[in-house]
C-alpha cells in the first residue's frame, strides 16, 4: 500500500520547486561549495614537478596510483593540496562506527543523544588528523619526494602540512554542505571528484578506439554495459524487504482507536559502499606500502604479483572480503536487538512473532538472507571493472566502488531534494489550513 507521503511525492511538480526558496538556496550553496572543492584540486603542493607526476600517472592509469587519482578527482595527477581528498575522514568514521559496537564507553556516548554524537564527531576528527598525517607522510616520503624540485625534509614537511590542511578543510566543507546544503556533504565531495574524472576516462576509451587498440564493437559493448550496470545498481539499491509491523488498539479517554499497521524496510544492500572500500583498501595496502618504502625480497614480490589486480587469487580474495564486510557491517547499520527493543517500547510487533528476543532473532534471520543476495550483487559489480581494466586495459571508472558511489549518492541526493519539497508542500498546506480557520472565526 502506498503511503500518503509517497502519493504526495508522486504529485510534485516543477512549480513546487520554483516556490521552494529555501531549497534553491541550499542547492546554490552546495554547488558553490563543490566549485570551491574543484578549484582546490588545481592548487599544487609547493615545490613539486607536476609535469613529471602527470606523465607517471598517464603511463600507468590502472595502477594503485590511478585509483587514488580517481577518488581524489584528479588531484593526485596535479599533486594538489586536496590529494588525499576526504578519504581519511571516511576511514576514521568507519573505524569509530566499528569501535562503537565493541567499546562500551563509545557505545554509551552514542546512546546519549546529541551531546554524545558531538563527542563522537570530535573523536572522528582527531582520528582523521592522525590518519591523514600518516598517509601524507608516506606519500611525501615515498612518492612526492622523488618528484620534488628540491627534495629533502623541508619539502616533506611542507607537503605533509599542505595535505593534512587540505583534508581537514574538506572535512569542514563537507560538514557545511550537510548543515547548510542538501546533506550528504562527504559523499557529495567524493561524488564530485569521481564524476569530474569520467570525461577523461571517456576520452581514453575513444582514443584507444581511434588508435586501433580497441575495436568499435568493444567500445559499443562498454557503453551498453554501462547502461546495464547502472540499471542493475539502481534496482538493487532500491530493493528492500518490508516486514509488517502491527500496533495494538489504543484507548484515549472514551475513544477507542484502531491499531495501525506499518512496515520495517530492510535494504538489500544495507552496508552500502563500505564493503568494497574496505576490501580494496586491504588488498591494495601491501602493494601500496611496497611502492612507498621500496621493493622487498623476491618472495614478497612474487606474492604481491599473485595478489595483483586482475589475477584470479586477487579476485577470490576480493569477493571473500566483500562478503565478509557485508555481513560484518550490516548488523552495525541495522542492529536487530535495538530494533526489536524499540518496537517493544512503542507497542509494535511482527505478526506471529513474540516481541523481544524472538523478534530480534527473526530480524537477524531475514537480514542474513537478504545480505547474502546483496553481497553477491556487490561482488559482481566490483569484479566487472577488474576484468575490463586489467584484461582489456580499459579505465575502471564505469564500475566497482566508483559506480556504486555515483549511483548511490545520486539517489540519496534526489531523495533529499524530494524531502525538502515535501516539507515545503506540507508547510503550504498548514498555512492554508490556518488561513481557513482564521476566516471561519
**Which cell goes with 313?**
587469487
Q: Is 97 exposed, middle or buried (0-12, 13-18, 19+ CB in 10 A)?
A: middle
DSSP secondary structure string for all residues of 374-439 = HHHHHHHHHHHHHHHHHHS---STTSHHHHHHHHHHHHHHHHHHHHHHHHHHHHHHHHHHHHHHHH
**Which cell goes with 405?**
558511489
Q: Is the pLDDT assigned to residue 228 strictly greater than 60?
A: yes
Structural domains in the chain plus CATH codes: 23-213 (1.10.3370.10), 215-393 (1.10.3370.10)
Q: What is the pLDDT of residues 110-157, one digit of tens each?
A: 777 778 888 888 999 999 999 999 888 887 876 676 777 777 888 888
Helix axes 153-180, 87-100, angle to 10 degrees: 70
- The residues, any chain, with a CB within 8 Å of residue 38's CB and separated by 6 or more, are 73, 192, 196
Q: Is 302 exposed, middle or buried (0-12, 13-18, 19+ CB in 10 A)?
A: exposed
CA distances from 73 to 9, 54, 160, 267, 398 (A): 34, 13, 19, 29, 15
In which residue are the cell numbers 576516462 written?
201
Q: What is the pLDDT of residues 301-341, one digit of tens each?
A: 666 666 666 677 878 888 898 998 899 888 888 888 888 88
Under a CB-based contact definition with an 8 Å cutoff, are residues 429 and 20 in contact?
no
Spatial separation of the C-alpha atoms in residues 314 and 317, rounded to whole Å: 5
pTM, 2 dp: 0.78
Q: What is the pLDDT of residues 15-69, one digit of tens each?
A: 666 677 788 888 899 999 999 999 988 888 888 776 776 666 665 555 556 666 7
Amino acid at each position: 500500500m502506498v503511503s500518503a507521503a509517497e502519493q504526495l511525492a508522486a504529485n510534485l511538480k516543477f512549480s513546487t520547486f520554483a516556490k521552494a526558496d529555501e531549497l534553491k538556496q541550499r542547492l546554490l550553496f552546495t554547488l558553490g561549495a563543490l566549485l570551491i572543492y574543484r578549484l582546490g584540486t588545481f592548487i599544487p603542493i609547493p615545490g613539486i614537478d607536476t609535469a613529471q607526476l602527470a606523465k607517471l600517472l598517464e603511463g600507468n592509469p590502472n595502477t594503485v596510483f590511478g585509483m587514488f587519482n580517481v577518488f581524489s578527482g584528479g588531484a593526485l595527477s596535479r599533486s594538489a593540496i586536496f590529494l588525499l581528498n576526504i578519504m581519511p575522514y571516511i576511514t576514521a568514521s568507519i573505524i569509530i562506527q566499528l569501535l562503537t559496537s565493541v567499546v562500551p564507553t563509545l557505545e554509551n556516548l552514542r546512546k546519549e543523544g546529541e551531546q554524545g554524537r558531538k563527542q563522537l564527531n570530535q573523536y572522528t576528527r582527531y582520528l582523521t588528523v592522525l590518519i591523514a598525517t600518516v598517509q601524507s607522510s608516506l606519500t611525501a616520503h615515498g612518492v612526492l619526494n622523488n618528484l620534488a624540485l628540491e627534495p629533502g625534509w623541508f619539502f616533506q614537511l611542507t607537503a605533509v602540512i599542505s595535505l593534512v590542511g587540505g583534508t581537514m578543510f574538506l572535512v569542514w566543507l563537507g560538514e557545511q554542505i550537510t548543515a547548510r546544503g542538501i546533506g550528504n556533504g562527504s559523499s557529495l565531495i567524493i561524488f564530485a571528484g569521481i564524476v569530474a574524472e569520467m570525461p577523461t576516462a571517456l576520452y581514453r576509451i575513444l582514443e584507444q578506439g581511434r588508435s586501433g587498440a580497441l575495436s568499435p564493437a568493444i567500445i559499443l559493448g562498454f557503453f551498453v554495459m554501462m547502461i546495464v550496470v547502472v540499471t542493475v545498481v539502481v534496482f538493487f539499491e532500491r530493493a528492500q524487504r518490508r516486514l509488517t509491523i502491527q500496533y495494538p488498539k489504543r484507548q484515549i479517554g472514551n475513544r477507542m482507536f484502531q491499531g495501525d499497521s506499518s512496515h520495517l524496510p530492510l535494504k538489500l544492500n544495507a552496508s552500502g559502499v563500505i564493503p568494497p572500500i574496505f576490501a580494496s583498501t586491504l588488498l591494495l595496502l601491501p602493494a601500496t606500502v611496497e611502492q612507498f618504502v621500496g621493493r622487498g625480497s623476491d618472495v614478497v614480490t612474487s606474492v604481491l604479483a599473485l595478489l595483483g589486480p586482475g589475477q584470479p587469487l586477487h579476485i577470490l580474495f576480493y569477493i571473500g572480503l566483500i562478503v565478509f564486510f557485508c555481513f560484518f557491517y550490516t548488523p552495525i547499520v541495522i542492529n536487530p536487538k535495538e530494533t526489536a527493543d524499540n518496537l517493544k517500547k512503542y507497542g509494535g510487533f511482527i505478526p506471529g512473532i513474540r516481541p523481544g528476543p524472538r523478534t530480534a532473532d527473526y530480524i537477524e534471520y531475514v537480514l542474513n538472507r537478504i545480505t547474502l543476495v546483496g553481497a553477491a550483487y556487490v561482488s559482481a559489480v566490483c569484479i566487472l571493472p577488474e576484468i575490463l581494466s586489467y584484461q582489456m586495459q580499459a579505465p575502471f571508472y564505469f564500475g566497482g566502488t566508483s559506480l556504486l558511489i555515483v549511483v548511490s549518492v545520486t539517489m540519496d541526493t534526489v531523495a533529499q531534494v524530494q524531502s525538502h519539497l515535501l516539507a515545503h508542500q506540507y508547510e503550504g498546506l498548514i498555512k492554508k489550513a490556518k488561513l481557513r480557520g482564521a476566516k471561519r472565526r
